Structure 1
Amino acid sequence: MRTAKLFAGMSLALAVAAAGCGRQERTSQTDAPDTVRPGAAVQPTERDSPTLAAIKQRGRLNCGVHQGLVGFAFTDNRGAWRGFDVDFCRATAAAIFGDPDAVRFVPLTAEQRFEALRDGRVDVLWRNTSWTMSRDTGGELSFAGINYYDGQGFLVRRALNLNSAVELNGARICVQAGSTTELNVEDYFRTRGIEYRPVVVKTEEEARQTYAQEGCDAFTADISALAAARTTLANPQQHAILPDVISKEPLGPVVRQGDEQWTAVIRWTLNALILAEELGVTKANVEALARDSQDSRVRRLLGDEGDFGPSVGLPRTWARDAVAAGGNYGEIFERNLGQQSALNLARGLNAQWSARPGGLIYALPIR
Structure 2
Amino acid sequence: MLRFLMGAAALLVAASAAQAGPVLDRVRQSNTVRCGVGGSLAGFSLPDSRGEWHGLDVDYCRAVATAVLGDPARVTFVPVTLQTRFTALSSGEIDILSRDTVMTYSRDVNLGITFVGVSFYTGTGVMVRRASGVARMDQLDGATICASQGGSNLPEVADFLRARNKPFTPLTFDRFAVVLEAFLAGRCDAVTAGAADLAGAVSVQVTNPRDYMVLPEVLSRDPYGPAVARGDAEWFSIARWTLFALIEAEERGVTRANAREMARTATDPALKRLLGTEDDLGGMLGLPRDWVVKVIEAVGNYGEVYDRNFGPDTPINLPRGQNNVVSRGGLHYGMPFR
User: Is the TM-score greater than 0.5?
Assistant: yes
For 2:108, the aligned partner's letter is D
Equivalent residue, structure 2, for 1:272: 245
Which of residues 67, 81, 87 in structure 1 aligns to 2:53? 81
Query: What CA distance in whole angstroms lies between the structure 1 residues aligned with 2:111 and 2:85?
Result: 16
2:80 is aligned with 1:105: no
Secondary structure class of the residue paired with 1:54: helix
1:311 aligns with 2:310: no
TM-score in terms of structure 1 length: 0.85
RMSD, aligned CA: 1.4
TM-score (norm 2): 0.92
1:364 — aligned with what?
Answer: 335
Instruction: Decide which moves more: 49-58 or 85-94.
Output: 49-58
Structure 1 contact 93–103 (Cα < 8 Å) conserved: yes
What does the per-residue CA deviation read over 1:190-245, in whole Å, with 9 as the maximum and x for residues that have no partner?
12221111112222111100110111111110011111221322210111110111
Check whether the contact 1:149–1:349 (CA below 8 A) recurs between aligned residues: yes
Secondary structure at 1:319's aligned position in 2? helix
| Residue aligned with 1:111, SS | coil
Instruction: Identify which range, 139-148 or 177-186, moves more after superposition.
Output: 177-186
Q: What is the aligned partner in structure 2 of residue 237 from structure 1?
A: 210
Kept in 2: contact 1:71–1:341 (CA 8 A) = no
| Of 110, 122, 131, the match for 1:150 | 122
Q: Separation in 2 of the partners of 1:327 and 1:162? A: 40
Q: Is the 8 A contact 1:283 1:327 kept in 2?
A: yes
Which residue is 2:42 aligned to? 70
Q: How many residues align?
A: 322
What's the counterpart of residue 179 of structure 2?
207
1:346 maps to 2:319: yes
Q: C-alpha deviations, 1:42-63, integer Å up to 9, x for none?
A: xxx7321221121111111111
Which residue matches 1:296? 269
AA in 1 matched with 2:69: F
Q: Secondary structure at the match of 1:121?
A: coil
Alignment of 1:91-240 (within 5 A): 91-230=63-202, 231-240=204-213
Larger CA Rg, structure 1 vs 2: 1
In structure 1, runs of 5+ residues without a counterpart are: 1-44
**Percentage identity across aligned positions?**
42
- Quick check: 2:103–2:222 contact (8 Å CA) kept in 1? yes
For 2:252 and 2:18, the matched residues in 1 are separated by 34
Gaps of 5+ in 2: 1-16
Contact 2:21–2:231 (8 Å) recurs in 1: no
Pairwise CA distance, 1:260: 1.9
2:18·2:286 contact (CA, 8 Å) conserved in 1? Answer: no
